[in-house]
Chains A and B, each alone.
Chain A
Amino acid sequence: MVLLKNLRPPTEGVRHEQAETTAVMNGQKLGCGTLYVAETRLLWFDGSGMGFSLEYPTIGLHAISRDVSAYPQEHLYVMVNGKLTGENEADMTEKAADDEEDDSSNSSCGDDDDEEAITEIRFVPSDKVALESMFSAMCECQALHPDPEDDDSDNDFEGEEYDVEEAEAEHGHADIPSFYTCDEGLSALTQEGQATLERLEGMLAHSVAQQYHMAGVRTEEANAEFEDGMEVDASAMEAGQFEDADVEH
């Protein structure tokens, strides 16, 4: 198996770096090195600069394995679609595409890549606690590389904020309710709306007075004067309660 040589750490976008990590590819130990989880690609190489890199679109899944009965050490499992030739990533992705094309010409329903080769890679860090960070970093980076060939999702979003009001104006209907500011809202009320508003405000004022009796909590006294119910009833305190507070305690 051919591996790349003279690999160097990525210069930017490194979400996680894990030293003392052994890489095992399809069961074969490649040695101990450093794993770089970068936004552009996944990179692993040993002290001599020999290793490999993975492009996120080729990664099918990744996982944390803590089941030592399945594999003797806790590790990060990565499944790559296609075979890693090691020459360069272009080779690998082309190979995967070729596999797909062969399959679709052979099988009756075109888009299943049934027998596509996969590569299983295990990253075994000496520090097992780091597995969660390694996993999370990969999740984040994977999410940065959505499938460009995905025809199903409606990707006509062009980078502008989706403005609800603009969309409503275009489509001419407002079945999605919007909120109004106070001034806008008042002027938009019909007579019926106005009456409803007055009734509701009356109910609200009335219910605040009952606030202190709610939920079975006994308090000093209910004071309907304070409409927002937020103020403390100062008269409940004993006179001179704080007179003996001595600043020099």
Chain B
Amino acid sequence: MESEGTESPLSGLVPVAEVFNSIRERTIAENSMVVLLQGLQGEVTTVDLRNECTARGRVVNVDAFMNVRLKDVLYRDRRGKLTRLQDLFITGRNVRYVHIPDHMDIMKTIQSQLAKIHRVRNFASHGGGRKEYSKKK
């Protein structure tokens, strides 16, 4: 998010817009099933697009808008032709299905993703983290 590496607003000086985008994305993510897809990072899976194409590759990142980034991809177009792609970015709007690998425990994945979000958020509230963005009370 870029949005890759979205979880580092606390480790250095970051433009305010980026922090808010990150906060906004976390809020969106924790209120939708996208958290499950975010838990797929590192897994090999198939994404079915709305226009009948499919892409199979390793998940690099999924952001709150369901934009999916894959690498080492086997891409099948609508005519069934296969192509290899090194990196692929699919716009969230174009995603129809994301296949969840059989070996994944869906509940556990969702729970651990939500826990990550809460840990980051709580670190930034009173008692820890940088003070630049804390609200004056």
Chain A residues with a Cβ under 8 A of chain B: 57, 59-67, 70-71, 77, 79, 81, 112-114, 116, 118, 132, 135, 138-140, 142-143, 146-147, 149-150, 152-155, 157, 159, 161-165, 176-181, 184
Contact A70:B84 (CB < 8 A) given known A143-B2, A157-B27, A178-B125: yes
Measured CA separation A146–B23 after assembly (Å): 15
Contact flags (1/0) for B83-122 with A, using CB distance below 8 Å?
A: 1111111111110100000000000000000000010011
B50's partner among A63, A113, A140, A162 (CB-CB below 8 A) is: A113
Contact flags (1/0) for B35-63 with A, using CB distance below 8 Å?
A: 00000000000000111110100000001
CB atoms of B20 and A159 under 8 A apart:
yes
Residue of A nearest to B135 (CB): A163
Q: Is B31 an interface residue (CB 8 A)?
A: yes
Q: Which residues of B contact A59 (CB under 8 A)?
A: 91
CB atoms of B127 and A153 under 8 A apart:
no
CB atoms of B28 and A162 under 8 A apart:
no
CB distance from B50 to the nearest CB of A (A): 6
17 pairs, A vs B, C-beta closer than 8 Å: A63-B87, A64-B86, A70-B83, A79-B53, A81-B94, A139-B3, A139-B69, A140-B2, A142-B67, A143-B1, A152-B32, A153-B31, A154-B31, A161-B135, A163-B135, A176-B118, A180-B127
CB atoms of B89 and A61 under 8 A apart:
yes
CB atoms of A161 and B118 under 8 A apart:
no
Majority secondary structure of chain B interface residues (helix, strand, loop or mixed): mixed
CB atoms of A65 and B92 under 8 A apart:
no
Chain B residues with a Cβ under 8 A of chain A: 1-3, 20, 23-24, 26-28, 31-32, 34, 49-53, 55, 63-65, 67, 69, 73, 75, 83-94, 96, 118, 121-123, 125-128, 133, 135
Contact A65:B85 (CB < 8 A) given known A81-B51, A162-B121: yes
Measured CA separation A165–B127 after assembly (Å): 12
CB atoms of A64 and B87 under 8 A apart:
yes
A143's partner among B20, B52, B67, B121 (CB-CB below 8 A) is: B67
Q: Which residues of B contact A132 (CB under 8 A)?
A: 87
CB atoms of A139 and B89 under 8 A apart:
yes
CB atoms of B52 and A114 under 8 A apart:
yes
Measured CA separation A85–B92 after assembly (Å): 24
Contact A161:B34 (CB < 8 A) given known A63-B89, A65-B86: no
Contact A150:B65 (CB < 8 A) given known A61-B49, A63-B89, A139-B1: yes
CB atoms of B86 and A66 under 8 A apart:
yes
Interface centre among B67, B83, B89 (most CB of A within 10 A): B89
Majority secondary structure of chain A interface residues (helix, strand, loop or mixed): loop
Measured CA separation A184–B137 after assembly (Å): 15
CB distance from A109 to the nearest CB of B (A): 12
Measured CA separation A155–B32 after assembly (Å): 10
Contact A150:B69 (CB < 8 A) given known A67-B85, A178-B127: no
CB atoms of A143 and B127 under 8 A apart:
no
Known pairs A113-B50, A163-B125; list 18 more (Cβ under 8 Å). A63-B73, A63-B86, A64-B86, A65-B84, A66-B84, A81-B51, A112-B50, A114-B52, A116-B51, A139-B3, A139-B89, A143-B2, A150-B65, A161-B23, A176-B122, A178-B126, A178-B127, A179-B125
